[in-house]
Amino acid sequence: MPATILVVEDEPTILSLIEVNLRRAGHAVQLAPDAETARRLIQTALPDLVLLDWMLPGMSGVDLARLLRSETRTRRLPIIMLTARAEERDKIEALDLGADDYVTKPFSPRELLARIKAVLRRHAPEATEDVVELGGLRLDPATHRITAGEAEVALGPTEFRLLHFLMTHPERVHGRAQLLDQVWGDHVFVEERTVDVHIRRLRAALESSGHDALIQTVRGSGYRMSAT
Ligand code: CA
């Protein structure tokens, strides 16, 4: 499953080099030349990962990273810092303020893609193509196939993304607003009861094999996927 990556970079040539390579790797790309634009885009929809240049006009990349880490909604958003400076203390500062990784310019596209993949695997497993299994359910993002025991399960695209997110984040309660952010990528324009509608459809699709029981309603909080 391709990830949505927000690239915050003020140098147009680097921005377009990154864009071309990310798109070629199958990712969806959002571009922001400064921190303010990046904040607006994040406000509308959460990306899966932010590639953030250290030195930006106006608010610096470091300050934006700090801000994202301080807000509940973006606290766990994966961030990779880009910088022209290769000094050890810069790297330490970047990791200290909560960046997940750090890439020094000039970098090869291959290196950048490898770093992105590693960070996504750690922090946003729903944005990778790894097969996930839970309680007898098996979901393969690459082929879009779900099996419940021996039987194949057919799901619509939203239910598929919802199940993928729940399976890659099991045993945790997810509120409706959080699911909208993570699965729909938009917390502003969709009503929270939309989540309930899709959970209902998902359960209906899993009912014949009994796997609907894996999705639990946590009264007053949201939903949890659990194999126990
Ligand atoms: Ca810059």
Q: Which tens digits make up the pLDDT trace of 142-200?
A: 899 999 988 999 999 999 999 999 999 999 899 998 898 888 875 557 788 899 999 99
Q: Measured between alpha carbons, how far is 125 from 132 in angstroms, rounded to an integer?
A: 9
Quick check: 94 pLDDT over 90? no
Residue-range definition of the domain harbouring residue 165: 132-225
Residue 68, number of CB atoms within 10 A of its CB: 23
Verify that 27 and 86 share a domain, yes or no. yes
Q: Worst-scoring range by mean pLDDT, 13-17, 89-93, 164-168?
A: 89-93
Verify that 193 and 122 share a domain, yes or no. no
Q: How many angstroms does the Cα of residue 43 sit away from the middle of ligand 1? A: 22
* pLDDT at 186 (0 to 100): 59
Verify that 90 and 74 share a domain, yes or no. yes
* pLDDT at 180 (0 to 100): 87
* pLDDT at 1 (0 to 100): 47
Q: How many angstroms does the Cα of residue 95 sit away from the middle of ligand 1? A: 18
* pLDDT at 136 (0 to 100): 94
Q: Worst-scoring range by mean pLDDT, 19-23, 49-53, 61-65, 99-103?
A: 99-103
Q: How many angstroms does the Cα of residue 39 sit away from the middle of ligand 1? A: 17
Total structural domains in the chain?
2
Q: How many angstroms does the Cα of residue 6 sit away from the middle of ligand 1? A: 15
Verify that 52 and 138 share a domain, yes or no. no
Q: How many angstroms does the Cα of residue 10 sit away from the middle of ligand 1? A: 5
Beta sheet of 79-83, edge-to-edge order: 28-32, 4-8, 49-53, 79-83, 101-104
Q: How many angstroms does the Cα of residue 37 sit away from the middle of ligand 1? A: 14
Q: How many angstroms does the Cα of residue 127 sit away from the middle of ligand 1? A: 27
Residue 171, number of CB atoms within 10 A of its CB: 10
Q: How many angstroms does the Cα of residue 57 sit away from the middle of ligand 1? A: 7
Q: How many angstroms does the Cα of residue 75 sit away from the middle of ligand 1? A: 23
* pLDDT at 86 (0 to 100): 66
Q: How many angstroms does the Cα of residue 16 sit away from the middle of ligand 1? A: 13
Mean pLDDT of the chain: 90
**Cβ–Cβ under 8 Å, residues 111 and 102:** no
Q: How many angstroms does the Cα of residue 33 sit away from the middle of ligand 1? A: 9
- What's the CATH code of the domain at 197? 1.10.10.10
Residue 87, number of CB atoms within 10 A of its CB: 10
Residue that is last in its domain, among 83, 104, 127 = 127
Q: Which tens digits make up the pLDDT trace of 60-72?
A: 999 999 999 999 8
Q: How many angstroms does the Cα of residue 28 sit away from the middle of ligand 1? A: 22
What percent of the chain lies above the pLDDT cut of 70? Answer: 97
Quick check: 123 pLDDT over 90? no
Verify that 113 and 155 share a domain, yes or no. no
Q: How many angstroms does the Cα of residue 113 sit away from the middle of ligand 1? A: 20
Q: How many angstroms does the Cα of residue 79 sit away from the middle of ligand 1? A: 16
Verify that 17 and 40 share a domain, yes or no. yes
pTM (two decimals): 0.72
Q: How many angstroms does the Cα of residue 226 sit away from the middle of ligand 1? A: 44
Q: How many angstroms does the Cα of residue 8 sit away from the middle of ligand 1? A: 9
